[in-house]
Chain A
Amino acid sequence: MKKALGLALAVLVTAAVAASAQGRPKAAEASTAVSCNSTLKIALVTPLTGGAGFLGNEQASWAKYAVKTLAKPLGLKVQLVLGDTPVEQGAAVAQTLAQKYVADSKVVGILGPSTSGAVAASSETYGQAGMAHISPSATRTSLTKGAKLEASNAFFRVVPGDYIQGPSDAKFMVDKLKVKKVVILDFQEPYSVGLADSVEGALKKANVSTTRLSAPNTTTDYSAFVTRVPSDADIVFFPTQKPGDAQTFGQQLLEQGKKAKVFGGDGSNNAAEFKLAGSYVSNFAPDITGIPEDKAIIDGWKKDNKGKAVGSFGPPSYGATQVMLQAIKRACVAGKGTIANKRAVLRQVKKVRIPNWILGGEFRWSTKSNDPLNAKFYIFQIQSNGKYKLVG
C-alpha cells in the first residue's frame, strides 16, 4: 500500500514538473540601462544554413553594410550579431535565440526573425521583454492581421504581408495568365500554409479550379506530387522557402511531361538555385538596381561583397536595419544618452520615417498595424538565360 502511494506520488510530482515545463517560459529580461556611448548590439535572426541559408546570408551581408555605413553618422557604435535559424530545424531554435538575446542587456533590438515560423515561435518572448523585432521578410498574414495575432505588438515588418501577396499573385494568374486550373502545394509550416490559403481563397473567388496538396517540409523528392498534378493544370503554386526544391519540382514536371509552370512565392526568389525558364516568382522587393537613388548604396555594398549579385532579400534587410538604427538614435536622444531598457527602443520604432527608402519612395508605417504603408508585391518571370524579368 505504502509502495503504491509512494509510486503515485512520484508520478504526480513528475507530471506536475512536466506540466510546468510546458509552454514558453518567461525569458529572463535584462533590465540594466546601457549607455549610448558604449557598443550596442542588434541581432539578426535568420537562416544562415540549410535550404534557406541563401536568404539569411544575403540579409546578413546587407545588414552588415547598413550598420557599417549608417551607424557612425548617427553617432552610434553598433555591433551586429547573427543568430542562425535553419528552417529544417523548426521553430524551437528561434525560441532559444530569443531567450538568449532578451537576457543580454547590450542587445537593444532584433532584426528578424526572417521566417514567419520563427516569428510565431519567438515573438511572445520578445514582446514580454518589450524588445522590438523588425523582420525584413516574414510575410505571414496572421502575424499582424486577423482575429488571433501570431506575433506580439513588438513585431514589425518592412515588407508587405501575404494578405497582399496572395491576392496579388492570384490576380496576376487570373488576369495575365488566364488560368483555369491551379494546383497549390503547401509544406505544413506557417509561411507556406498561410500563403497557400490566401492564394487558394482568391482563386476560388475568381472561379478558378484548384487542387490542394500538402508535403512535409523535409520532402526532397516530389515525383508522387507531380503525378497528382493534372495534365491540364496551368500553374502549380509552390510557396517553398527552399528555391532548390522549386527547381527540382519544375524539372520533375518536365520529366513527367506536365505543362504546368511553377509559380513560387518570395521564399523561392534565388536566381542561382531556381532558374527554370518560364517559371514565375513573386517578391516583396523590386530590383533595386533599377532605382537610380540606390546607386551609391549598391556600389558600396558590391565593394564589400565582391562577385555577389544584388538579390531581393538583402535590400529589405538594409531597410530594416536603417529603421532599427533610427529608432535606437531616437531612444538615445529621448533618454539623454542612455537607453533605459529595451522598451525605450520599441517606443521609437513606429515614429521612424525614411524619406529615401531603399525599395523606392518613402517608408512609413501603417497606422492600422505594424506593417509598412502602401507596400506591394512584384512578379517576375524566369527567362531562358536565368534572369528574373519583372512582369507584374
Chain B
Amino acid sequence: MDTFIQLTVDGLTLGSVYALIALGYTLVYGVLKLLNFAHGDVFMVGSFIGFGMLQLLGGSADPVLPTWLLLTTITLAAMVGCAGLGVAVERFAYRPLREAPRIAPLISALGVSFFLANSMQLLFGANPRNYDTFALSGGALYFKGVDIGNVKVPLLRIITIAAAIALMVVLWFLVNKTKTGKAMRATSYDREAAAMMGIDIDRVIVFAFVLGSALAGAAGVMFALRVPTQVSIGFIAGLKGFTAAVIGGIGSIPGAMVGGLILGLAESYTQGYWDTRWSDLVVFSILIAFMIIRPQGLLGRADLRKV
C-alpha cells in the first residue's frame, strides 16, 4: 500500500507538469487548429528563466527573499517571460501562415522548436542548471511535509501539485467566466462565425498563446525545482505534453488536465510495478491506442461530418 501511495504521489507530481504543458497545446489547438510543436521548448525556456531569476535573487544557498516569495517570484518571472516568447512566436512564425495550407504552420512550428533549442544552447551552453532546491531553507522543502500512512509527502511535491491545480482553476475561470474566455470558446467553435460576430480573432489567438506559454513557463519552474534542467528537456517534455493533450482530447481544457494526470500516473506505475525501462513504451502505446480507438480523446468531442 505504501508503494502505491508513493507512486501515486510521484505520478500526480509528474502529471501536474504534463497537464500544464498539455493545456498550452490544447489552448492553441482550440483556436488555431495548430499543433504548436515549439511548446516543449517554451517549457524549457521557462525553466531557464526561473534559474536566472533565482540566481539574481541570491541563489538557493543565500536568497534575498523568504522561500515562499522566492518561489512565487521566479515562477511569475518564468510565466511572464514565456508569455512574451509565446506572443513573439505567434506573431513571427504562425500569423503570416494563417491562411496557408495546414502543413505550413506545422513545419514552421517544428522549425521554431529547433530554433529555440539551438539558440538556448548557443547562448547558455548545454550544461545542466541545478536550482539546488535542497539548499533552500536547509532542505525544508524535502524534509517537511504531510504523512499519508507510512509515506511522507514532502512540501515540494505538495507545492507542485497545489500550484498546478491553482493555475488550472485560474485558467478555467478565465476561459469560462470572462468575456475574453467566451471569445476564445467562440473562436474555437467556429473561427469565421466568431469573426463575423465582431470578435477580434488576432487578439483571441494572442491571448491563447499568452495563456498557454505562461502555463508552460510555470511548468518549467516546477519541473526544475526537482531535477536539473538543460536545453535538451524540451523535446521529450513537449512530446509527453502533446500525448497528454491527445489522451484528454485535443482542444478540451478539462481533457488536457485529466490527460496529464493519467500520463503521469501511467509512467509512475509502470516504473514502479513493472519495469523502469518500459515507461516510455507504455506512454506512447497509450497515445497510439487512443489515436486508433478514440481519436477525440477522453473528453474531446468527435468531429461532425456533413453527410
Contacts and interface: CB of A to CB of B under 8 A. Distances in A.
B154 A220 contact: no
B267 A216 contact: no
A273 interface: yes
Interface in B195-253: 226-228, 230, 232-233, 236
A251 B142 contact: yes
Contacts of B75: none
Contact of B228 (A53, A86, A223, A244): A244
B38 to A, nearest CB: 20
Given A242-B128, A245-B228, A228 B272 contact: yes
A213 B126 contact: no
A50 B272 contact: no
A256 B6 contact: yes
B10 A224 contact: yes
Interface in A211-264: 213-216, 218, 220-225, 227-228, 242, 244-245, 247-248, 251, 254-257
A242 B139 CA distance: 22
Contact of B143 (A221, A222, A223, A254): A254
Contacts of A255: 142, 154, 156
Nearest to B5: A227
A86 B151 CA distance: 38
A223 B5 CA distance: 13
Nearest to A47: B126
A223 B14 contact: yes
B277 A216 contact: yes
B128 A224 contact: no
B13 A257 contact: no
Nearest to B132: A247
A167 interface: no
Contacts of B277: 188, 214-216
A51 B227 CA distance: 12
Given A214-B277, A215-B276, A227-B10, A49 B125 contact: yes
A223 B268 contact: yes
Interface string B258-279: 0000000001100110011101
A50 B126 contact: yes
Contacts of B14: 221, 223
Interface in B112-157: 121, 125-128, 130, 134, 139, 142-143, 151-152, 154, 156
B178 interface: no
A372 B277 CA distance: 36
A79 B299 CA distance: 62
Contacts of B272: 224, 227-228
A244 B233 CA distance: 14
Contact of A53 (B125, B267, B268, B276): B125
B130 A224 contact: no
B82 interface: no
A251 B134 contact: yes
A222 to B, nearest CB: 8
A254 to B, nearest CB: 6
Given A53-B126, A244-B128, 4 more contacts: A224-B276, A248-B227, A248-B228, A255-B154
8 contacts: A50-B232, A215-B276, A222-B227, A227-B6, A244-B128, A251-B134, A273-B128, A273-B130
Across the A-B interface, the 8 shortest Cβ-Cβ residue pairs: A224-B271, A49-B126, A223-B10, A244-B228, A220-B227, A50-B126, A53-B127, A255-B142
